[in-house]
Structure 1
Amino acid sequence: MNHQYKSYMTGIILAAMAMPAYAAAAGTAQADTQNLLSKDVVVTATRTEAEVKTVPNTVEVITAEDIQKLGATDVYSALRLADNIQIMNTSTGFGHRVSMRGMASNQTLILINGQRTAIEDTATTQNLLALDRINVNTIERIEIVRGAASAQYGSDALAGVINIITKKSTGKPSVTVGATTGTTNMQNYYHIDLGKQGKFSGVFDMDFSKDRQWTEHNVSGLPIKNLQGPKQNYRFSGTYELGKDKNLNLDLGYYKDKLTGDWSHKEYNTGAWGGIIRLQDAKLETERRDASLSLTGKNKKDDYMIRAFYSKMDKFRFLPYTALAKETGETNTYSVWGIEAKNSHQINGSHTLTYGTEYDRYVVEGVNFGKSGDNGKDVNTYAAYIQDEWLAGNKWIIIPAVRYDKHSEFGSKTTPHLGVTYLLNDNNRFKANWGKGFKAPTVSELYMDYTHMGVLTMGNPDLQPEESTNWDVSYEGEWGKTFGKVTYFHNTIDNMISTHSVSGMRGVSEYYNIDGTTKTHGIELTLGRNLSKRWDIKATSNWTSASNKSASAASSAHGVDGIADNITTLQLTYDDHKTSGYNFTIWEQWVNNYYESDSNDKYTYNTLNFVVNRKFNDRFRLFAGVDNIFDKKIDEIYLDGRIWRAGMEYRF
């Protein structure tokens, strides 16, 4: 930690220590947990409905209204102002790295309506395209939980959870039509609310888009353009009332893309494969089907759910440098299916017990299992969990939870979590969390022999799961027109899964567990004020420090690549709150010491961005926005220049 960073942290901690005194002067009314209701209700943190103010976890909710105000045309742009989430392009121009609290993309669990979906599962591909395949216009809200959440969700939730909640029927028939265009893509979408027809209600969404060729990056001395082509996305969600507060729910999804890249005029040194080849056009085609059937119900004491789900993705790829020996390309199939049941039982006014069980099976099939001689492999997990929401008097909310997972490859894992909220008064509270997390090695990491950038990476069936210990403490408050929160987080990971070269085999590496501990820690700060009925200002600043205490020099930078020491954002928002009127947001973002491992350099830059919405009535709106107004571009970290977008939406 450098001197400047220490000074920043000291100042923030002192400011946080001063906040309670200011808050006490603002008001000392005794808090009652039942009165601390908030507009934002989060279900991801505790798997039950809980108010953002009272839930101990560090959570954030991005609503459909927030998404509209940002003029978001994809999920990444909807997350652009989320606390301590870094989103950057990849070197090949498709997909994005999503880092939460300075951790790797594959250490955040991404869910749709609390459910896992089929995605790529290598260390270099997991989650990179997961959010690309979601139609942002179907989203009701995005719930973000920071910190280890394996006690609730099992594997992969080391850094936290991003849960996409899709729209349900409002009960009134309507049709919404939208169209957007911009630097990166163009699209048209349709949201059909079928309304309530007797005991049935449902919605149907369609999205048709085309990614444009809009950027070019230098990869190992080779300029490579991003992939371009059409995408289709369909989603249906229906509910049938079986009785009072008892519903049968069906969700279906279909996604397809067909992307190509103009690389045919390029030459590439294959290194270990011997010689220079002339590249062909890159191709990537994906088709995914999702299905979920659930029974939900509640009464005075119980709120229960039983769900079965299935998700399958077929992916064809021909990226010339990753399929050198397979000129016709290769197809892999990823699928996950499972069944789960849970119930929340209110024992009395002070205790709500949530318990459940799950079974998941993951299957990967394809051409890359040469070492095992099979065409595919699978793993399965049985799990059970229990949690107590304890309202201890009128000041304490205590939530202990524990989960047991039985994995077919490495055995059992028990992950506890303890969260506490202490209510100083109606508007001020302390929160603390401690928990364990784990990430099971994936099918590909265990068994697949995967070629990328001319290097063959072999699976390792002896891998052990990554294990984390996370704790954080927070202070939150509202003081008249001012609000703020400050959080210190600390996370350590053992058995980090990485790759290293195989001795005596040129161009061959394998997965292994790092012998050491990777640590990320830092501070998250938010401070805002309502300047008037129309104007709001908000500042966020996130400091993250990542280090590796391993004796292995080869892994000393692991967990640091793609992480900035600090990201600070200042945003100004105007909203006239009229049915016919305007709202706009302008924000400046400063990124300090963004580390890139290939060049072993750090980069500091800032961008200015804005978006404006024009509402003509409660049915019709236009919007336009520009990111990176002054066209800052840094090839080494794949930072693209100016990006514009515009669109319209009309509801019949």
Structure 2
Amino acid sequence: MKLLLSFSKVIMFLSFLYLWSFLGGEVLAQEGPVTVAPELVTGSRLAESLDEVPQATYVITAEEIERSRAKTLSEVLDKIPGISTLRKNSWAQDDSLRMRGVATEVLILVDGVPYYNASYGADMFNVDLRSIPLESVERVEVIKGAGSALYGSMAAAGVINIITKTPDKYKTSIIAEGGSNDWRRYSVSAGIKGDVFDVGIRYNHREEGEVPIRYYNDEVYKALDYDEDSASIALSWGNWRFGADFGSYDSKWEPYKDAVDRYEDDYKRFYLKYADLKNEVIAYAHLIDRKYKGSDDSNNYDGDIWGLEFTQRTSMGDIPLAWGVAYRFEDLSVDDLVIYDNSFKAERHNIAPFVQFSFLLGDTFMDIGLRYENWDVDNGKDESEFAPKISFYRQDASGKLWYLTAGRSFAMPSLYQLYSKSSWHDPNPNLLPEKGWAYDFGIKDPVSKWNINLFYLEMDDKIKWETIDSENFRGRYNNLAEFRSWGIEGQLEKPFTTNLSWINGMTWQKAEEKQTSSDPWRKGGTPQLELYSELNYDNGPWFGSLSAHYYGKREKDNLSGDDRADDDFVTVDAILAYDMENYKITLAAYNIFDEEYIIDTSGYIGPERRVYLTFEHLF
């Protein structure tokens, strides 16, 4: 019945769009030649470039990604102030990050499509970045601060939009790479221009052998094996674009002595988009199948996500206006292969209308964003949330943009948190969403390429793991904690000569949380000080890069007094590349001084020194 009601709402909405079009609203209809519209700007439905968005914004281009010779998205994003990856050793572990002290409450978009899944836990990243290969990425846009007024759940700390390549951006090439820990990568891609539509295709294979990943109780545990295959296809014709991604990765590791755990992950993702100068419609489907075979239990996770979103840019008199509505359906089923009574199936629906408009007050702009979220949860607590956002900003005579932004944020619990049950885990269908506010004040200069930003983020009803029966190790997810984070971020790019440039990033942040309202504030698991510096030399076919990352005053994750993960350290990376007309050769070394450090109080260790040799042939 709930599915029929939600589906009827979507049909009513589409019928309204059709009626608007029939009466002259110009939805999905144009006279004259077809005009392909640019991508919507991340963080705003009205701005024409990231430079106009009144928040701390960063963009990483395809050229910068290729030049970095990074292996994962987290390595690329690690250079952005306020983002901490502290990446774990080995590819057998999920690829994730923290922004402003939180992980779950960061929204990942791919081509504007929300990518959070239905099976994440508390304080965990809501998508595995391994499933987004860098080879298909055209650019990455990072927008700090409240994003729920435009994008809904998960956007408390900010939004990361990953824009994939259109067919004309696909290179026809073959890549072969080898490196430390039996690392191997092979990739092929091609772009084909046709009479009716253009096609981009890509295939990628990665594998890695044994890698030490954890130090615990005076023993070292290892990742035993990693294998990945992924492929994508992109089609474009006129105002239409279609994309599909397929992938499978298999991980094995030692959780403790004389034990082996294994994950088999398969995913399929599709989207179809129409965009003209006024309208954008996107439909998407994510199908995820994960098999976990552990020493204590084994489960199959089957998650399906479907969505549809419409946006129109128009005006109301002299007031620029963007409005739209988003629909999302989530379905998660878990089969416990050991205790069949622990299997479950759950679903929920989300409908969210939104609007953004802008006023000019003298020489200052005021943007207002509003979004109403309605979540229909199967056998659980339905939720409705109103998320406003207001921004004041002005550009001075020198081109600098000054801004002040405040917005409401919230994050829904996952279906896994609501319903998962096992021999050690109780469900909690009455979990509430996390709610809070985010505030930003800053200056950015797109001409001189520097920015500085002050922020404050607070959240109530933070979802944490609660132990119910310590003797039998039983617990559940519950709304226990309060969280707050404040600090300052900044970045400066400085060209010394036509061949030599310097990039510096800095973050000081204080992340704290309470386990309950009566507890004292405690450190929230984030380095308090991060400094990043990168020196690049580009001269003809030669390119070289030397970068250093400093982590200081690292925070503890628990209350036990364990001083692990509390030491300061510096990692240094180096790249040397030679680019010819049809060939590219790269030698890359990461953590070249083999700095040893513990990532967290669970004993996970950072990546040891690694060296990679890459050969690419262009056709």
Describe the SS at the equivalent of 1:457: coil
C-alpha distance 504-534 of structure 1, shift in aligned 2 (>3 A): closer
1:415 aligned residue: 387
Alpha-carbon offset, residue 148 of structure 1: 1.5
1:627 aligned residue: 590
From 567, 570, 573, the equivalent of 1:606 is 570
Describe the SS at the equivalent of 1:152: helix
**Hey, what's the Cα distance between the residues in 2 that align with 1:643 and 1:94?**
17
Residue correspondence of structure 1 range 545-556 to structure 2 within 5 A: 545-548=510-513, 552=517, 556=521
2:225 aligned residue: 228
C-alpha distance 520-531 of structure 1, shift in aligned 2 (>3 A): same
Alpha-carbon offset, residue 61 of structure 1: 0.5
Structure 1 residue 651 corresponds to structure 2 residue 618: yes
**Hey, what's the Cα distance between the residues in 1 that align with 2:493 and 2:302?**
47
**Hey, what's the Cα distance between the residues in 2 that align with 1:127 and 1:400?**
29
1:211 aligned residue: 208
Describe the SS at the equivalent of 2:149: helix
Structure 1 residue 313 corresponds to structure 2 residue 288: yes
From 555, 568, 575, the equivalent of 1:595 is 555
The one-letter amino acid paired with 1:238 is L
Alpha-carbon offset, residue 484 of structure 1: 2.5
**Hey, what's the Cα distance between the residues in 1 that align with 2:334 and 2:365?**
49
**Hey, what's the Cα distance between the residues in 2 that align with 1:188 and 1:346?**
49
**Hey, what's the Cα distance between the residues in 2 that align with 1:41 and 1:523?**
30
- Tell me, yes or no, if the aligned pair for 1:249 and 1:295 is still in contact at 8 Å: yes
From 138, 141, 148, the equivalent of 1:140 is 138
1:290 aligned residue: 269
Residue correspondence of structure 1 range 442-521 to structure 2 within 5 A: 442-449=414-421, 456-477=424-445, 483-503=449-469, 506-514=472-480, 517-521=482-486
Residue correspondence of structure 1 range 11-410 to structure 2 within 5 A: 43-47=41-45, 50-90=48-88, 94-103=93-102, 105-117=103-115, 119=117, 121-123=119-121, 126-127=124-125, 130-170=128-168, 175-183=172-180, 185-195=183-193, 197-219=194-216, 223-241=220-238, 247-261=239-253, 267=257, 278-279=258-259, 281-298=260-277, 303-320=278-295, 324=296, 326=297, 329-347=298-316, 351-367=319-335, 375-390=344-359, 395-408=363-376, 409-410=381-382
Describe the SS at the equivalent of 2:211: coil
- Tell me, yes or no, if the aligned pair for 1:98 and 1:128 is still in contact at 8 Å: no
The one-letter amino acid paired with 1:304 is N
C-alpha distance 373-283 of structure 1, shift in aligned 2 (>3 A): closer
Alpha-carbon offset, residue 310 of structure 1: 0.9
- Post-superposition Cα deviations, 1:63-109, rounded to whole Å, max 9, x if no partner, equal 10001111112212222312211002459961234001122x21111
Which stretches in structure 2 are left out of the alignment for 5+ residues? 1-37
Alpha-carbon offset, residue 193 of structure 1: 0.5
**Hey, what's the Cα distance between the residues in 2 that align with 1:380 and 1:471?**
30
2:19 aligned residue: none
C-alpha distance 44-555 of structure 1, shift in aligned 2 (>3 A): farther
Alpha-carbon offset, residue 286 of structure 1: 0.9
- Post-superposition Cα deviations, 1:269-321, rounded to whole Å, max 9, x if no partner, equal xxxxxxxxx42x322111111111222223xxxx212222111111111232x
The one-letter amino acid paired with 2:618 is R
2:579 aligned residue: 615
Describe the SS at the equivalent of 1:53: helix
- Tell me, yes or no, if the aligned pair for 1:54 and 1:421 is still in contact at 8 Å: no
**Hey, what's the Cα distance between the residues in 1 that align with 2:383 and 2:53?**
32
C-alpha distance 368-382 of structure 1, shift in aligned 2 (>3 A): farther
**Hey, what's the Cα distance between the residues in 2 that align with 1:42 and 1:629?**
40
Which stretches in structure 1 are left out of the alignment for 5+ residues? 1-39, 242-246, 268-277
**Hey, what's the Cα distance between the residues in 2 that align with 1:633 and 1:398?**
49
1:17 aligned residue: none
**Hey, what's the Cα distance between the residues in 1 that align with 2:275 and 2:550?**
45
- Post-superposition Cα deviations, 1:5-50, rounded to whole Å, max 9, x if no partner, equal xxxxxxxxxxxxxxxxxxxxxxxxxxxxxxxxxxx99721114553
Describe the SS at the equivalent of 1:151: helix
- Tell me, yes or no, if the aligned pair for 2:95 and 2:128 is still in contact at 8 Å: no
The one-letter amino acid paired with 1:156 is M
C-alpha distance 168-375 of structure 1, shift in aligned 2 (>3 A): same
**Hey, what's the Cα distance between the residues in 2 that align with 1:129 and 1:550?**
25
C-alpha distance 536-450 of structure 1, shift in aligned 2 (>3 A): farther
- Tell me, yes or no, if the aligned pair for 2:300 and 2:336 is still in contact at 8 Å: no
Alpha-carbon offset, residue 476 of structure 1: 2.2
1:540 aligned residue: 505
C-alpha distance 64-174 of structure 1, shift in aligned 2 (>3 A): closer
**Hey, what's the Cα distance between the residues in 1 that align with 2:207 and 2:89?**
20
C-alpha distance 612-42 of structure 1, shift in aligned 2 (>3 A): farther
- Post-superposition Cα deviations, 1:508-551, rounded to whole Å, max 9, x if no partner, equal 11111125x31100000223322111111222110010123565
Alpha-carbon offset, residue 258 of structure 1: 2.2
Alpha-carbon offset, residue 368 of structure 1: 5.1
Describe the SS at the equivalent of 2:567: strand
**Hey, what's the Cα distance between the residues in 2 that align with 1:347 and 1:646?**
57
- Tell me, yes or no, if the aligned pair for 1:570 and 1:587 is still in contact at 8 Å: yes
Alpha-carbon offset, residue 126 of structure 1: 4.5
The one-letter amino acid paired with 2:485 is T
Alpha-carbon offset, residue 379 of structure 1: 1.5
Describe the SS at the equivalent of 2:150: helix
- Tell me, yes or no, if the aligned pair for 2:484 and 2:512 is still in contact at 8 Å: yes
**Hey, what's the Cα distance between the residues in 2 that align with 1:287 and 1:485?**
40
C-alpha distance 464-471 of structure 1, shift in aligned 2 (>3 A): same
Alpha-carbon offset, residue 648 of structure 1: 2.2
C-alpha distance 90-529 of structure 1, shift in aligned 2 (>3 A): closer
- Using the size of structure 1 for normalisation, the TM-score is 0.81
- Tell me, yes or no, if the aligned pair for 1:310 and 1:337 is still in contact at 8 Å: yes
- Tell me, yes or no, if the aligned pair for 1:107 and 1:156 is still in contact at 8 Å: yes
The one-letter amino acid paired with 1:161 is V
**Hey, what's the Cα distance between the residues in 2 that align with 1:551 and 1:134?**
36
**Hey, what's the Cα distance between the residues in 2 that align with 1:159 and 1:87?**
15
The one-letter amino acid paired with 2:266 is E
**Hey, what's the Cα distance between the residues in 1 that align with 2:130 and 2:342?**
33
C-alpha distance 437-125 of structure 1, shift in aligned 2 (>3 A): closer
Structure 1 residue 524 corresponds to structure 2 residue 496: no
Alpha-carbon offset, residue 227 of structure 1: 4.6
- Post-superposition Cα deviations, 1:548-584, rounded to whole Å, max 9, x if no partner, equal 3565577854x712x10100112211122x3xx2222
- Post-superposition Cα deviations, 1:614-634, rounded to whole Å, max 9, x if no partner, equal 1112x4222221121110112
Residue correspondence of structure 1 range 551-570 to structure 2 within 5 A: 552=517, 556-557=521-522, 560-561=524-525, 563-570=526-533
1:20 aligned residue: none
